[in-house]
Amino acid sequence: MWIAILSYAALRLAGRGLSDFSPYVNALFLLPTGPVVPQNIWTLRHELVFYSAFALTFLLFPRARWLILIWIFSFIPVALFAHFHPADNPALYAAKIFGNPVNIEFGAGLALGLLCRRRDIRSDLSTPAPALLLIAAFVGFFLLAIVLDLKIDQIQGTMISAIVASAIIFLAVKLKFADSGLNRVGSLLGDASYSIYLFHPHFQSAMLGVWKHFLPQTNIWIVILGVVLLSTAAGVLIHLFVEKPLLTWLGRFLPRRGDHHGKVAADPVLAPTLQPPG
């Protein structure tokens, strides 16, 4: 994330100059104090809040797991307060980050994770073409979002996406996939998804500028397809040659997961996910 933010700032500085460094500082430290640049970092602020809430409840104080429900639905009092006091201020801005409708999606993911660990539904699902089923589900979700004009930071959008996306993720986890070229490509894209997510603004911005300069009359759908494919490919390369080596290097300084089995496996909720197979 830091590499993505600093490289984006360097490119902007070289190309257009920087008038305000504060959005980059907010992004670097995921501060809840104002806008972030690159703008896609905004979701990582919400992820940090969720990871903190999960750690405090499920890991540190497991008997207080129910408290995470308060966080999930904290967007309700925040939305009511913002409705009657619409003037923006730093405290309300921070409250909208901690109590945001996207909490619903995190709650749905948490519920799905607990559901998938139930012994009575641990068996995999079989279907003749699992990849085609997932692609159809994703395309259907995409079309539904367009038709309903869903907004990912509004209550209606987050509730619908939480339901539909959870169903898609459940299928992705439970479906049996044969060892094929398509499956390997899907696995690679999944492994590279974080790098693709972090770095696609870099390449999209650069490619759109070049495309506009040399081929300004190109059909917009060709431009969209080309930019998506090229920025995705660039993200995969960053995953292979930056992210993976970095993780390998950092792994030398971090304890392995197996070192914590004796401490965490005593928790009956977490133990099944941490125990080695068999």
Q: What is the mean pLDDT of residues 132-141?
A: 88
Residue 122 is predicted with a pLDDT of 65
Q: How far is CA 201 from the centre of its chain?
A: 15
- Confidence (pTM): 0.81
Residue 46 is predicted with a pLDDT of 95
Query: Running DSSP on this structure, what letter comes out for residue 36?
Result: -
Closest CA to 236 of 203, 275, 277: 203
Q: What is the mean pLDDT of residues 255-263?
A: 56
Is the confidence at residue 31, as pLDDT, over 90?
A: yes
Provide the residue type at 211 as one letter. W
Q: What is the mean pLDDT of residues 138-156?
A: 86
Residue 83 is predicted with a pLDDT of 84
Per-residue pLDDT tens over the stretch 200-256: 999 998 899 889 889 889 999 999 999 999 999 999 999 999 999 999 999 888 877
Q: Residue 259: pLDDT band by 50, 70, 90 thresholds?
A: low
List for the chain the helix, strand, coil content (%; round to 5). Answer: 75, 0, 25
Distances (CA, A) of 224 to 12, 141, 148, 211, 232: 22, 19, 22, 11, 12
Look at the alpha carbons of 98, 147, 163, 131 in this order and tell me if their dihedral is positive or negative.
negative
If one compares 124 and 34, the residue with the highest pLDDT of the two is 34
> Are the C-beta atoms of residues 189 and 236 closer than 8 Å to each other?
yes
User: How far is the C-alpha of 214 from the C-alpha of 16, rounded, in Å?
Assistant: 19
Residue 277 is predicted with a pLDDT of 39
Burial class (CB in 10 A: 0-12, 13-18, 19+), 99: buried
User: How far is the C-alpha of 205 from the C-alpha of 183, rounded, in Å?
Assistant: 30
Q: Please name the residue that has the structure tokens 């090229």.
A: 230
Is the confidence at residue 88, as pLDDT, over 50?
A: yes
> Are the C-beta atoms of residues 210 and 17 closer than 8 Å to each other?
no
Cis status of the peptide bond prior to 38, with omega within 30 of 0: yes
Q: Which tokens sit at 230? A: 């090229």
> Are the C-beta atoms of residues 53 and 98 closer than 8 Å to each other?
no
Q: Residue 125: pLDDT band by 50, 70, 90 thresholds?
A: confident
Query: Running DSSP on this structure, what letter comes out for residue 59?
Result: I
Closest CA to 49 of 89, 94, 113: 94
In 3-state terms, what secondary structure has residue 142?
helix
Q: How many residues does the structure list for the chain?
A: 278
Residue 181 is predicted with a pLDDT of 83
User: How far is the C-alpha of 93 from the C-alpha of 71, rounded, in Å?
Assistant: 16
Q: Which residues pair with 175 in a beta bridge?
A: 125
Q: Which residues pair with 125 in a beta bridge?
A: 175
